[in-house]
Structure formats: structure tokens, C-alpha cells
Structure 1
Amino acid sequence: MTASGIAEQAVQAFTQRERERFLANNPKSRELAERARHSLFGGVPMHWMSDWSTPHPLFVSRAQGARFFDVDGHEYVDFCLGDTGSMFGHSPAPIAKAIAEQGANGLTTMLPGEDAVIAGELLGERFGLPFWQVATTATDANRFVIRWARAITGRKVLLVFDGCYHGTVDDVMVRSRDGHTVHRSGLIGQARNLAKTSRAVPFNDLAALEQALAQGDVAAVLCEPAMTNIGMVLPEPGFMEKLRELTRQYGSLLIIDETHTISTGPGGCTRAWNLRPDFITLGKPIAGGVPCSVYGCTHEMAQAMRIAQQHASEQSHGHGHSGMGTTLSANALAMHCMRANLEQVMTPAAYAHMLPLAARLAEGFRQLIARHGLAWSVTELGARCEFQFCPTPPNNGAAAEAAFHDSLQMALHLYLINRGILITPFHNMTLCCPDTRAADVDRLIATLDQALTELLAMPGARP
């Protein structure tokens, strides 16, 4: 029997039925998928777009608010929201207006405008860190901050938590296995041994954390306040406070990645939990869905950055390259949209709508899990929640991964897609946005309830 308590044979029969339904109902998507095979590697513009539960990719025609439509004319309630990229809904009106305004006034100039100044001020007010820089993706923001941390401390090692998510930064592509740091499985084209300059320890494990920091070579700890990509894992009481204490004790910097945990509130966990980081990084929804990311720092770090710059300049005799920045970073379109997003979209009022709906959804999950007698659990963080195939919420990445039942997850996702509902792929996470309605939440719960009823009625579903 699997960790989920549902037999694989029943899952496979259930999946086959749903695959047939999808193929019958999506002829235009199927035609586009076949056509795309001849021009796009794997038939999609980014390879992971083929990793959904559907037999072939679902092609979208348009999206608005909490809904999108596919090329076959089906409407979907979206609880994935671009895996946080559209956390405030698809094409919010202020963002659509900002795009139109800036579209006629220049897209990129390599020079700042007033929008940049206002956005920096708004970020400082929101997160409590005074100085900011802008990049294009959270991966870029994390890469750049890691460089700063190494330059400031003179140390090489980056410490991350097992199962972390910080985009596709090379340095974070490691896992902890039996007390050793190893490469993540499936990593392609990695030319150097990442374990020489990266160290992974289990989340919520203070003893392992202190042992890793005590070696005196860790430039920084890069962490999510709550893990969100291996399956949601919340910090145990006091863990984040002790993390801050230990990093200071051993001379390491603390970088908080809020790219997913911004679901907690307008200032993320950094403000809600008073985390006091040296640096903060944030991407995905910061410009309302337009590619953009930011990183902020304290006064102390800003001064240390200036010293590091001066030292590098002296070493290179006045000419060199920091290894940070891309041509389209902080472009005029992104800055105008980020300003609009911070002023009009990513507001306390938006969270006041989103958070109660997510709590309603989490409670609905708990009730249907109990009704079906399943040993599953639910984890929630602000506008985000997830049901997991384990009896209690996991406290580290390895425990979250051990609860995976990939085929069951994909079967349930496919059932929902076939009935006009999308949740985040790769695990069972949901997001509520300002356009999500109570009726949408109730519909998801009712549809998942029906899915479990049908699946558990299949021969041999339970021991």
C-alpha cells in the first residue's frame, strides 16, 4: 500500500478513464500539441510545460482574473495562478493599463525613470529594508545576492535547506542525504561539484543547522520562511528566530526568499514574523505578472556592498564586471508595472479578500479528508494551502517528499482539469487571488470530494 492509503491499481484505472475523457474533450489542444512537436522541443516552449497530468499540453487562449479559457472553449477556475506569477489574478486592470501606458512610451532604455524611485520607496515601506535593486527573475535576484554575500564575507559556502526552492540557481541544486550534501537527482549538464561550495541541511533541524554554520565558512543561509515546492513545510515555533540568532553568532548572512511566501501578507513573512534578514529576494508576482524581481538589503549590507565594489575596482584597476545584471533588468515596462502593482494591486485589501477564502478552502479540505477516512493532512500559509498524503503536516523536505504519491496526485489533478479547475502541478497546492469567489472554493472542494468518492469506489482501492 502506498503512503496515501490508496492502491496503485485503482489509481491507474481511474487515470485511464480520465485520460480518455480529456482526449475526447480537447481536439484543438491535441491538434496544436501535434503541430508543436515539429518546432518546439518536447512540443512546448519551456520543457516543464509538458509535465502536467494531461495526456498532451492544454493550450490556453486567454486568461482574466481567477479564470482562463483553453483553445477548445472550456472555462477554468484557476487556483494555480501561474504558480504564483499571477498571484493577484490574471491581467489585473491596473497592470493592463500600465502596460498600455508604457507600451507607447518605451519598453527599455538602460536608464532609470521616476517609477524606479517610487517603487524603491514603496518596497522599503512594505518590507522594512531601505535599499533595493531590480532584476528580471527570482533566480537572477538570488544569484546576485549570493555573489554579494560571498564578496562581503569573503566566504564561499552557501547553506540551503533540503528540498528548497530558489529558482534555477546552480548553487541551490543540492539535497541532504544521510548527513551529506549531494546533487539533486535529474540535474543536467552540471560541470562542477556543487557540494564544494553549497551545503544542505534539513529544515527545522537546529542541531544540523548549527553544526553546518559552526564550520565558519558559510557566507549566507538562503531560505524560504516556509518551504513551498517540495510540498509545504512550515517552520516550527522558534525556528526562524533561532536561525537569525545562529547566523549572527557564526558570522553568516541571512537571505530570505519571499517569492512564494509573499502569499502571507503585503510584507510577506519578513514583516509578519519580524525575520530581520540581511537581504530579501522576491520575484514572480511583484510586477503583477510581468517578468520582474527585486532584492533588498539593510543599511549595513549596503555599506558592505560599497566596500566590496571599491575593493573589486581596485583589484581590476578600475575596469571589470560584477557578474550581476542583465540588459533587460529594471526595464521601463517592468518598473511601471511594479509601481502600479505595489500601489493598486498588491494591497492590504487584496489580502483581506484572499486570506479568508484560503482558510475556507483549507477547512474544506480537512473536512472531506475526514469524511473519506484518509490519513492525509492540510498545510496553509496565507493565501496558499495544500493537502498532503501524510497524517500530519511534514516538518522537513524529506518527510514531505516521502508523502508523495505522484500518480495519485496527477490523477486527481486530471479529474479537476476535466471539470474546469486547475491547481498547481507537481504537488497539491492552491492559491486564492482577489478575483477568487467563495463559490469557486466550494466548487473545488465539491469536485475533489466527488473525485475521491469515485476513486475509492473502484475495486481494490483500499486494503
Structure 2
Amino acid sequence: MTASGIADSAVETFAARERQRFLAANPASVALAERARQSLFGGVPMHWMSDWSTPSPLFVRHARGARFVDVDGHTYVDFCLGDTGAMFGHSPAPIARALAEQGADGLTTMLPGEDAVVAGELLAARFGLPFWQVATTATDANRFVVRWARAITGRKRLLVFDGCYHGTVDDTLVRCRDGRTVHRPGLLGQARNLAKTSRAVPFNDLAALEAALAGGDVAALLCEPAMTNIGMVLPDPGYLDQVRALTRRYGTLLIVDETHTLSTGPGGCTRAWGLQPDFITLGKPIAGGVPCSVYGCTAEMARAMHLARQHASQHGGHGHSGMGTTLSANALAMRCMRVNLEQVMTEAAYAHMLPLAQRLAAGFRRVIAGHGLAWSVTELGARCEFQFCPTPPRSGAEAEAAFHDALQRALHLYLINRGLLITPFHNMTLCCPDTTEADVARLVTTLDEALGELLALPGARLA
């Protein structure tokens, strides 16, 4: 028996059929995968690209808007959108023009241009924090802000929520197990004990949060306003207000990572929910899919950062903060970020995306109810996700307990075989400005068909 209400044996029969269908329909991808194994580790340029539900990696030829075409000529409606990197669609026309124009005007100089000034002004107006810095990935932005927080407070400890995702920042790769902080399962090559400088507590648990803060040794709480990578987990009503109050009480800085939660609106949850972080970090979609990230801070934090730099320079450390890379804030990224903020990531874009996501979530609920399954659906702006549990999870541990990897992979593969892509590793979808009502209806109908075929197998439905 499984928590999903569907027998494992039926899931495997269903998945085996879909694997054969994929292999038969994608000879060019299969051939490229075999060729790639001679030069690329695991046959892909990043090893996790082979962790999708397909029996062989799927190779893309080109992508635009809400669609991409694979090397076998199949067209897909994309509800994954590069796991947020293409939140506003693949190659939006203004970004494509900016790439071409800036490509002829210089890519990187280690010096700023006017685009940087305009981008900073736009970020300040949109998110309400007055001062900004630019990095290359959200991982970089988070890592640098954690360093600033430690320098400002003089404390070493970082606090995160169990099941969090903040890129590959070492300090965040921990979990909470029976009240103890331990390394995240699967973590490779970590030489130091992260629990000495990091602490993980459950989301939506104010008592655990206060207990973790009460020692007065936590430099910062780094968090998403809603968890998005362990399965979507929304904050309880009033929870984030209490988080802010507790961090202030114990002298801990609050860092809000909005890389994924930009799905909520043009100013993320920070603007939509009236949050008051000391720092905010943003990555992936902020420059329309071009590698770029930013972090913003309050005026108080900016003053503290200046003092920290002055202190370091007095001890011979001028210019060696350990933050930033040569390609950070390059001219190409700055141009694309400015254009994205001005022309792509707009109120009008969200006015299209948000109602479609609501319609998709309603469709998921209708299909789930129609098949008599005890599953739930969670929404966050342009995102929604169906989860294999009767009520939406309130913590990372609850979300993880609802996982059914084999069922998820089987359903994802069924969708891929019929030209639909959703986010791997869990059942999250994202609507972009190019997503249509017909696309949403097609995904809902195809999921309905998948469940109908799966539940029709002998012994599939558990009592």
C-alpha cells in the first residue's frame, strides 16, 4: 500500500509501457545520449539532467515562448520553464533583441554602464529595498549575503528551514532530523561538519524557530517566504509576521530568497505580502533567463556593510572581500536585466499568468476529485502543484513524506510522451505570459487520461 492510493505494481506496469513508448518515439535523442556518454559524464553537461523521468535524456533543439522542440521534432508545451529560469517564457522578444544589440557593444568590461543604474532604480522601486548588488547566480547572491550577515553581526550561525532550497550554498545543505541538524542526504564531498555553523528547523513551527534563535548566536535566517523545492509549502496565516518579530527580538537578520517566489507578482512575496526583510535575493528569471542574480538591502544594512568594509580595509583587506566574480554584473547581464524589468516582468504579464495558474489548479482539483484520490493542490501565484497527500503540507518533512517517486516519474513520463513538460522531482507547474488557456486545458485533460489509464490497470486502486 502507498499513501498515494495507487498500488506500486500498477505504477510499474504503467511506467514500463511509457518507457518503451519514449524510446520508440525518440531515436535522435537516444542516439545523442549514447554519443554524449563518450565525452560528458553521465551523457549530459550537468549530471542532474539525466535525473528526469525519461529512460534516456531528452535533447532540445530550440525553445520559444511556452514551447520547445526536441531533436526528434516533437513540440512540447512547457510548464517547467527551466525550473523558473524561463519564468517569463523562452527567449522573450525584448530579451532576444537586447542580446543581439549588446552582443555587438561589448559583453564584459569590469566597469558599470547606465543599464546598471537603471536596473538598480527599477529594483529599488519594485521591491522596496533601496540598495542593490549584482551577482551571477542565486547561489552566489545567497552566499554573499550570508557572508555580509556574519560580518555585520559578528555571529557565525546560519538558520534555515528544513527542506529549504537556496541553490548550492554549503551552509544550507542541512536537514532537521529528530530535532538535530544533519547533512542533507546525498550530499557529496563535504569536508566540514555543517551543523557547527548551520541550524535547520521546521517551517511553520514558531516554537522551534524561537528556540533556535534564543541562544543569540544566529547571524541570519535565510528563507523562502513559501517553500518551493521540497514540494510547495505555504506559510500559515500570520507566520511570516511572527518570523520577522522573532528575528528582530534576538538580533538576527532576515534574508528572503525570492528566486522561485517571484511567481507571486512583480515584487514577489515581499511586495505582495508586505514583508520587511533586511536582505532580499533574486536569481534565475531576473534577467529573462540570462545568468544573473541580485541582492538588495535596507539603508541600515548598507551602513553596516560600509562599516564592515572599512574595518576590513584597516586590516589590509581592501578589495579582498571574497564576494563577486569577474563576470558578475557584466554588460550583457545588466542590459538584459534592465530590459526584463522594463518590458517583460510587467504587471500585464502577471495579469495573464496568475488567472491561468488558478484555472490550472482548479482543473487539477477537479481531476483528482473525479478519480476519488486523496491528493491536494497548492497554489503560489503563477505556480501550482498537486501533491500526494489529502491536505497541503505545512512543513518540509510533511511535503517529503507525501513523495511517491515512482508514481511521480510515471505520470511525468506519460505527459512528456504526449508533449507536456512539468517540473521534475515534484509535481509543480508554472504558467508564463505565452501560456494559453488551451495549453492549460490540454494539461488537465492529459493528466485526467493518465490517471484513468493507470487506475484501470488490475489491482491499481487501493482500498
TM-score range, shorter chain: over 0.9
Residue 418 of structure 1 aligns to which amino acid in structure 2? N
Distance 2:2 2:102 in 1: 53
Residue 163 of structure 2 aligns to which amino acid in structure 1? G
TM-score of the two chains, using structure 1 as the length reference: 0.99
Aligned residues: 462
Tell me if 1:363 matches 2:362: yes
Distance 2:269 2:306 in 1: 28
Distance 1:462 1:441 in 2: 27
CA contact 2:119–2:337 (8 Å) conserved in 1: yes
Which residue pairs with 1:12 in the alignment? Answer: 12
Deviation at 1:229, TM superposition (A): 0.2
User: Hey, which bits of structure 1, 4+ residues long, moved more than 3 A?
Assistant: none
CA contact 2:363–2:444 (8 Å) conserved in 1: yes
Which residue pairs with 2:82 in the alignment? Answer: 82
Deviation at 1:319, TM superposition (A): 3.9
Q: Deviations over 1:223-258 (max 9, x none)?
A: 000000000000000100000000000000000000
Distance 1:12 1:148 in 2: 49
Partner of 1:379, secondary structure, is strand
Distance 1:187 1:30 in 2: 29
Partner of 1:76, secondary structure, is strand
Partner of 1:159, secondary structure, is strand
Deviation at 1:313, TM superposition (A): 1.0
Residue 351 of structure 1 aligns to which amino acid in structure 2? Y
Distance 2:101 2:407 in 1: 46
Distance 2:288 2:339 in 1: 8
Distance 2:254 2:313 in 1: 26
Which residue pairs with 2:427 in the alignment? Answer: 428
Mapping of residues 135-284 of structure 1, within 5 Å? 135-284=135-284
Q: Deviations over 1:104-125 (max 9, x none)?
A: 0000000000000000000000
Which residue pairs with 1:334 in the alignment? Answer: 333
C-alpha RMSD over aligned residues: 0.5
Which residue pairs with 2:455 in the alignment? Answer: 456
Partner of 2:367, secondary structure, is helix
Which residue pairs with 2:374 in the alignment? Answer: 375
Q: Deviations over 1:150-174 (max 9, x none)?
A: 0000000000000000000000000
Deviation at 1:460, TM superposition (A): 1.1
Deviation at 1:14, TM superposition (A): 0.2
Which residue pairs with 1:302 in the alignment? Answer: 302
Distance 1:319 1:410 in 2: 51
Mapping of residues 311-350 of structure 1, within 5 Å? 311-316=311-316, 319=318, 321-350=320-349
Partner of 2:61, secondary structure, is strand
Distance 1:353 1:122 in 2: 22
Which residue pairs with 1:404 in the alignment? Answer: 403
Which residue pairs with 1:121 in the alignment? Answer: 121
Give me the identity figure in percent: 83
Partner of 1:462, secondary structure, is coil
Partner of 1:57, secondary structure, is coil
CA contact 2:255–2:279 (8 Å) conserved in 1: yes
Tell me if 1:62 matches 2:62: yes
Partner of 2:274, secondary structure, is coil
CA contact 2:309–2:318 (8 Å) conserved in 1: no
Deviation at 1:25, TM superposition (A): 0.2
Distance 1:346 1:269 in 2: 15
Q: Deviations over 1:422-457 (max 9, x none)?
A: 000000000000000000000000000000000000
Residue 362 of structure 1 aligns to which amino acid in structure 2? A
Structure 1 segments unaligned to the other structure (5+ residues):
none
Deviation at 1:462, TM superposition (A): 1.4
Residue 443 of structure 2 aligns to which amino acid in structure 1? L
Partner of 2:146, secondary structure, is helix
Distance 1:462 1:247 in 2: 47
Distance 2:112 2:319 in 1: 22
Residue 436 of structure 1 aligns to which amino acid in structure 2? T
Residue 159 of structure 1 aligns to which amino acid in structure 2? L
Which residue pairs with 2:51 in the alignment? Answer: 51
Partner of 1:147, secondary structure, is helix
Q: Deviations over 1:184-232 (max 9, x none)?
A: 0010000000000000000000000000000100000000000000000
Structure 2 segments unaligned to the other structure (5+ residues):
none
Residue 346 of structure 1 aligns to which amino acid in structure 2? M
TM-score of the two chains, using structure 2 as the length reference: 0.99
Deviation at 1:3, TM superposition (A): 1.0
Distance 1:320 1:166 in 2: 26
